[in-house]
Amino acid sequence: MGIQQTFYEAMREHGITRRSFLKFCSLTAAGLGMGPEFAGKIAHALETKPRTPVIWLHGLECTCCTESFIRSAHPLAADVILSMISLDYDDTIMAAAGYQAEEILDQTIAKYDGNFILACEGNPPLNEDGMYCIQAGKPYVEKLRRMADHCKAIIAWGSCASWGCVQAAHPNPTRATPIHKVITDKPVIKVPGCPPIAEVMTGVITYMLTFDRFPELDRQGRPKMFYSQRLHDKCYRRPHFDAGQFVERFDDEGARKGYCLYKMGCKGPTTHNACSTVEWNGGLSWPVKSGHGCLGCAEDNFWDRGSFYSSVTNLNVTGQVEATADKVGGILAGAAAIGVAAHAAASVVSHTKDSNKGGAQQ
């Protein structure tokens, strides 16, 4: 998983001589406003093991995954960015802008072809030729495809990149599409959540750097270490669920006693995430602990399941028509019962007539 090639080796592979490599180093030193004595140090650094380059792209999104990332307490986000990886492109925090920013993408492809990690936050819209998300005058999906072509692997940050999330909710006006449906020839590690927990994000990155391999993924491409259980399996309110003690209204007696939030629509029983174990903001709390049910934010389709406050959710056939199993099924069974009653009545009438006529049937 780690980048085996150093920068120097990569440059040599691209037919660049040692002389021009050293020249590059002195230019870099000069470009940074440092004296020529730094050139040698830069060359040394580049010849030894470099930090793994990460290109972090933003599609249609709310940038909350980045916001979550910088909340990481262990490791600190600053340590990840400055000491563990080389975050060479991330439009939300990078210093350069305009064409100087976009040039970095070319440089990355030239230097680290097949050796950088592509971190995707948000997703590309496909309607209107991709122009619902424009970057440098072009559709974002073009940039995504290009960088994906050259990267080693993709991390899909958050529910946007993993599933589509809010902009892909019915009727998905821009045809926002998750990464794995656009890029099909590269491994995609999904780290869903809207947003994902900070320490889950940095945990995934540090796992890859530490063990030099991808974390084991579940059937849907999520790291097992954080997503293989439902919140409900480790929820501290679970004894109340099992006992049949539920919050029936916000701020009722049960709420003050910390009863289970299932009746308030908690999606803990169907949501795979680490909230009930890792918790949020340095292990301080998580939605259920604060008194609101889980929205199911790490699951596909969680926006289109009808009210967040109901334990029986929308079948999600047509997006937003309220069609829960209980409603559809109730109508079905109700209709059957009425039909049966009517048929029984008709049968009695018909049978009596037949019997009176002398019994055509018997």
Partner 1 sequence: MTETTTPNGFKLDTSGQRVVVDPICRIEGHLRIEVNVDDNNVIRNAVSTGNMWRGLEVILKGRDPRDAWAFTERICGVCTGVHALTSVRAVEDALGIQIPANANHIRNLMMLAQHTQDHLVHFYHLHALDWVDVVSALKADPRATSELMQSITSWPKSSPGYFRDVQARLKRFVESGQLGPFSNAYWGSAAYKLPPEANLMAVSHYLEALDFQREIVKIHTIFGGRNPHPNWVVGGMPCSFSLDGTGGINMEWLNLVSSIIDRSIEFIDKVYIPDLKAIASFYKEWTYGGGLAGKNLLSYGEYPDVANDWSQENMLMPGGAIIGGDLSKVHEVDLRDPEQVQEFVAHSWYTYPDENQGLHPWDGITEPHFELGPNAKGTKTNIEQLDENAKYSFIKAPRWRGHAMEVGPLARYVVAYARGEEEIKDQVDGLLHDLGLPLPAIFSTLGRTAARGLECSWAAHKMRYVFDNMMANLKAGDTATANMDKWEPETWPKVTKGVGHVEAPRGALGHWIHIKDTKIENYQAVVPTTWNASPRDPKGNIGAYEAALLGTPMVDAEQPLEILRTIHSFDPCLACSTH
Partner 2 sequence: MNSKVASGPHDPANQRAVYVFEAPVRLWHWLHAFSFAALAVTGYLIANPLPSLAGEASDHFLMGDIRLIHFISAYVFAIGFAVRVYWALVGNRYAREIFYLPFWRPSWWKGLFYEIGFYLFLTRRQHKMLGHNPLAQAAMFFLNTLVTIFMIGTGFALYSEGLGIDSWADRMFGWVIPLIGDSEGVHDWHNLGMWVMLTFVIIHIYMAVRADIIGRESSVSTIIGGWRMFKDDQP
Looking at 12-20, 164-172, 206-214, 340-348, which segment touches partner 1 (CB under 8 A)?
Answer: 164-172
Q: What DSSP assignment string belongs to 232-286?
A: GGG-TTHHHHHHT-B--STTSHHHHHT-B-GGGT--GGG-BSSTTTT-BTTTTB-
Looking at 30-38, 110-118, 279-287, 337-345, which segment touches partner 2 (CB under 8 A)?
Answer: 337-345
Compute the distance between CA of residue 178 and CA of residue 163 in angstroms, rounded to an integer.
Answer: 5
Chosen residue from 87, 147, 231, 298 binding ligand SF4 by CB under 6 A: 231
Residue with tokens 């926006």: 303
Q: Does 4 bind partner 2 (CB under 8 A)?
A: no
Q: Does 61 bind partner 1 (CB under 8 A)?
A: yes
Q: Are 200 and 193 in contact (CB under 8 A)?
A: yes
Q: Are 189 and 174 in contact (CB under 8 A)?
A: no
What is the distance of C-alpha 340 from the center of its chain?
A: 49
Q: Burial of 164 by CB count in 10 Å (0-12 exposed, 13-18 middle, 19+ buried)?
A: buried
Looking at 1-9, 67-75, 141-149, 219-227, which segment touches partner 2 (CB under 8 A)?
Answer: 219-227
Lay out the sheet containing 188-191: strands in order across.
85-90, 52-58, 117-121, 153-157, 188-191
Chosen residue from 151, 179, 198, 261 binding ligand SF4 by CB under 6 A: 261
Residue 46 dihedral angles phi and psi, to the nearest 5°: -70, -25
Report 28-87 residues binding ligand SF4 (CB under 6 A): 61-62, 64-65
Residues that bind partner 2 (CB under 8 A): 218-220, 224, 228-230, 233, 239-246, 248, 254, 259, 262-263, 267, 269-272, 296, 299-302, 305, 311-316, 324-326, 328-330, 332-333, 335-337, 339-340, 343-344, 346-347, 350-351, 354, 360-362
Residues that bind ligand SF4 (CB under 6 A): 61-62, 64-65, 121-122, 158-160, 165-166, 194-195, 231-232, 235, 237-238, 241, 260-262, 266, 268-269, 288, 293-294
Residues that bind ligand HEM (CB under 6 A): 269, 312
